[in-house]
Amino acid sequence: MEEKIYIFGHKNPDTDSICSSLVSEILDKKNGWKDTEARRLGNVNKETQYVLDYLGIEAPALLEKVEEGQGVALVDHNEFNQSVEGIEKAKIWSVTDHHRIANFETSEPLYYTAKPYGCTCTILFEEFKRLGHEIGKKEAILMASAIISDTLLLKSPTTTEYDKKALEELEKIAGINVNEYGLEMLKAGTNLDDFSANELINLDAKNLDKDGTKFVIAQVNTVSIDDVLKRQAELEEAMRKEIEEKGLKLFVLAITDILNSNSKIIALGEKAETVEKAFDVKLENNTAFLPGVVSRKKQILPNIDKNI
Amino acid sequence: MEEKIYIFGHKNPDTDSICSSLVSEILDKKNGWKDTEARRLGNVNKETQYVLDYLGIEAPALLEKVEEGQGVALVDHNEFNQSVEGIEKAKIWSVTDHHRIANFETSEPLYYTAKPYGCTCTILFEEFKRLGHEIGKKEAILMASAIISDTLLLKSPTTTEYDKKALEELEKIAGINVNEYGLEMLKAGTNLDDFSANELINLDAKNLDKDGTKFVIAQVNTVSIDDVLKRQAELEEAMRKEIEEKGLKLFVLAITDILNSNSKIIALGEKAETVEKAFDVKLENNTAFLPGVVSRKKQILPNIDKNI
């Protein structure tokens, strides 16, 4: 391989997307199979910044679009509408992911490794093991942070025994107390005060498409749902603007209480009633409380996808 | 898991599809993770029958369709139009495949293992290694047969170093002479005399879809292209019937000389000229000779897919 292969997670990158791309670059260097370089598709959020600051490292460089034929490796996503501009004409070498597969296609065979785990970094952890590579402290902290983030300290229903096992081993290598470090990291991500409403609904928003019906499910983590809901009027205004600009049929914002593991959703758009069917609730003032719901991937998306 | 998970390859099963399903069942039994049972989606071809007879075993049972929620594991394919009736509503546990990914989607995360190798059984061979399971003589012969079939005795351009390495090791375990056994097996598959024209064009036909444009690429292996071309008139009649019944824009039949590694194609349909662009040839009497072309996956499909 002459040319660099860019490796990146999804748009609106979360901690798993950034950490997976950094860890994959380290893994690829150890393997020597291909020359990859981590990139990011958007701003680093505050939770991820906490991790980078803890390690004293820089975020990967921003990648705005790719040219035709550019070699890429996707981590933590596969859907083209969550990926980089130009992805349809790129040469996809590999995908390493823990999400459903949709809105994805290639014209040639590729490496694809998906497992229904809580976190992409747990799959990468198993790759280190499989290939017999030693895990250094830096990558241990990156992988532990991603697992803590995606599983909300192993409390999300997306958590598997593999995530638990990986985090247990990574904790030792990283030399951190996972509960203390993890809570600080998660809290760092819940300081939403200095975001505009528009920034807030885009912090962790996934663009989705079901047979041409476009919808968005965005999520913010908080330690106080009420604090976020105080801004409901301006959040709804920002959501309505996105609906109009992107031709969406539904915009769901999930405000997730990471301490008590519940969510309140705001649902707007002509298919807003989808969420009533999906969760057997009545929307009141465009909102509904979903006890025990914290996972977009496992709890929110599949139910909306079936009912939209 | 209470219920059986059916594991199967594509419609019009070839040797890799049948052998991969049988080998996966053996592997799953060794792992004890899930209760799978091999199935097949169509008639066993003569080449595969040679393998089953050599081993004195039965083919997997026929599976005509699946009910909603049925657990399934796909091998050697992913595209829904090559899979079982009802696949859209099935619960897909896993995919193990060596093809491009297209016309495939799930609403939930799953296990997906794809590698750009010559054969699905080479991926399964690596799974045995990774998991530390001993490979028995039966599964060694099944995997070796699939690799010989898909790579035409390692001569197809789809062949990778991984296929070569696997076949070398499997030859020892299987206690066969790969070249002698392989040539007998491949020849067994080229006896096409007692097939009707309609059976012949469906022996190994792949249904494809590019943004709603439906097309079929079928392939038959032979030791004499002229022998097959003697039946051109009746083959074209059968192809035209399929085009009409299925609303196809293109039907390509590749007649592949497995001894000299060339193909002659017959192309019909309103998009027949696609193959002229795809291979820089002129169709004469609906046919074109493609020297060195033997692989649908690596040589025929990508070029047609780009030009259709």
- Supply the ipTM of this predicted assembly: 0.86
B114 and A116 in contact by Cβ < 8 A? no
Q: Is the pLDDT of residue A16 over 90?
A: yes
- pLDDT above 90 covers a percentage of chain B that reads 91
Q: Strands of A250-257's sheet, edge to edge?
A: A205-210, A213-222, A250-257, A262-268, A287-290
Minimal Cα–Cα distance from B83 to chain A, Å? Answer: 16
Which residues of A are less than 8 Å from B211 in CB distance? Answer: none
- CA A160 to chain CA centroid, nearest Å: 17
Q: Compute CA distances A204 → A122, A207, A214, whole Å.
A: 21, 10, 17
Assigned token pair, A58: 């820089």
Point out the residue among A104, A114, A305 whose CB comes nearest to the CB of B107.
A305
Contacts of residue B298, Cβ cutoff 8 Å, sequence gap at least 6 = A108, A109, B156, B157, B158
Which two tokens mark A194? Answer: 């200095």
Report chain A residues whose CB lies below 8 A from the CB of B108. Answer: 100, 116, 298, 302
A98 interface with B at CB cutoff 8 Å:
yes
The C-alpha atoms of residue A43 and residue A291 are separated, in whole angstroms, by: 30
| pTM for the predicted model, two decimal places | 0.88
Mean predicted lDDT score pLDDT of chain A:
95
Partner residue opposite A109 with nearest CB, options B99, B104, B113: B99
* Distance between A93 CA and the closest CA of chain B, angstroms: 9
pLDDT digits (tens, 9 = 90+) for B220-271: 999 899 999 999 999 999 999 999 999 999 999 999 998 899 999 999 999 9
A110: helix, coil or strand? Answer: coil
| H helix intervals, chain B | 15-31, 46-55, 120-131, 137-151, 161-174, 178-188, 197-202, 225-229, 232-246, 274-279, 301-307
Q: Is B100 on the interface with A (CB under 8 A)?
A: yes
Cα(B125)–Cα(B145) distance, integer angstroms: 12
The identity of residue B187, as a single letter, is K
Is the CB of B115 inside 8 Å of chain A's CB atoms? yes
Residue keyed to tokens 């705001």: A266
Reported confidence tier of residue A216, pLDDT bands at 50, 70, 90? very high
Instruction: Starting at the earlier edge strand, list the strands of the sheet with A71-75.
Output: A61-62, A36-40, A5-8, A71-75, A91-97, A111-114, B111-114, B91-97, B71-75, B5-8, B36-40, B61-62
Residue-wise pLDDT tens digits, B71-86: 999 999 999 999 999 9
Distance from CA of A306 to the nearest CA of B (A): 8
Which residue of A107, A213, A298, A300 to mutate against B (max B Cβ within 10 Å)? Answer: A107
Q: How far is A114 from chain B (nearest CA, A)?
A: 5
Which chain B residue lies closest to A127 (C-alpha atoms)? Answer: B130
pLDDT at A107: 87
Enter the DSSP assignment of B159: -
- Residue A76 structure tokens: 């933590």
Q: Which residues of A touch B101 (CB under 8 A)?
A: 101, 104-106, 110, 112
Whether B113 has its CB under 8 Å from any CB of chain A: the answer is yes
A69 touches chain B (CB under 8 A): no
Whether the predicted pLDDT of B219 surpasses 80: yes
User: What pLDDT, on a 0 to 100 scale, did the predictor assign at position A3?
Assistant: 79
In angstroms, the CA B131 to CA B23 distance is 14
Place B15 in a pLDDT band, splitting at 50, 70 and 90. Answer: very high
Give the residue from chain A lying closest to B297, CA to CA. A108
Of A101, A109, A305, the CB nearest to B116: A109
The span from the CA of B197 to the CA of B230, in Å, is 11
Q: How far apart, in Å, are the Cα atoms of A151 and each of A66, A154, A164?
A: 31, 5, 10
Chain A interface includes B110 (CB < 8 A): yes
Report the alpha-carbon distance of residue A274 to residue B148 in Å, rounded: 51
- Judged against a pLDDT cut of 90, whether residue A193 lies above it is answered with no
- Contact A297/B109, CB-based, under 8 Å? yes
Question: pLDDT band at A1, cuts 50/70/90?
Answer: very low
List, in sequence order, the alpha helices (H) in chain A.
15-31, 46-55, 120-131, 137-151, 161-174, 178-188, 197-202, 225-229, 232-246, 274-279, 301-307
Q: How far apart are CA A128 and CA A166, in angstroms?
A: 11
Burial of B218 (0-12, 13-18, 19+ CB in 10 A): buried
Q: Is residue B61 within a helix (H) or strand (E), and if so which, with residue range?
A: strand B61-62
CB pairs under 8 A between A and B: 83
**Residue type, position B295, single letter:** S
Cβ–Cβ of A102/B100 closer than 8 Å? no
Backbone φ/ψ region at A118: left (φ over 0), alpha (ψ -120 to 50), beta: alpha
Nearest Cα neighbor of A106 from A74, A75, A76 is A74
**Optimal mutation site among B81, B96, B104, B108, interface A, most CBs of chain A within 10 A:** B108
Contact state of A105 with B101 under an 8 Å Cβ cutoff: yes
Q: Name residue B99's amino acid.
A: H
Mean per-residue pLDDT, B24-29? 96
Burial class (CB in 10 A: 0-12, 13-18, 19+), A195: middle
Facing residue for A99 by CB, picked from B109, B111, B130: B109
d(CA B179, CA B185): 10
Question: Cβ separation of A111 and B107 shorter than 8 Å?
Answer: no
Q: Which of A221, A148, A136 is nearest to A181 (CA)?
A: A148
Give Cα separations from B154 to A167, B20, B75, B258 (angstroms).
43, 18, 21, 11
